[in-house]
Amino acid sequence: MLHLVFNSSYKTATTLELIDFVIPNDAIIFIEDGVYNILNDSLLDKLQATTKSIYYLENDVVARGLMPKIKERALINYLDLVRLTENNSQIISW
């Protein structure tokens, strides 16, 4: 399953519910304001304990000035986003 996260956990508690639904083969893409979740180490640690497929849309990270926070995190572009959606038959938006 592919999880598209549009919101920051600082904005809505719904994003925190994601932790309960992610399983090991799932992929997560943080897009739009969802890229702000890169600042929430607690959330990311819990998600990384379940899946290693966690991505950030590069254009949104750059637009929000978060590049210095990326470190070794996986950045993807729009083409990668399309490929991930094609490779996942189930997609849920948060």
The tens digit of pLDDT for each residue in 34-51 reads 999 999 999 999 999 999
The answer, yes or no, to whether residue 72 has pLDDT greater than 80, is no
pLDDT of residue 69: 87
Q: Cα–Cα distances in Å, from 16 out to 1, 21, 55?
A: 17, 10, 17
Question: What value does the mean pLDDT take over residues 53-76?
Answer: 92
Q: How far apart are CA 28 and CA 30, in angstroms?
A: 7
User: What's the Cα-to-Cα distance from 8 to each of 11, 38, 39, 44, 62, rounded to whole Å?
Assistant: 5, 9, 9, 12, 16
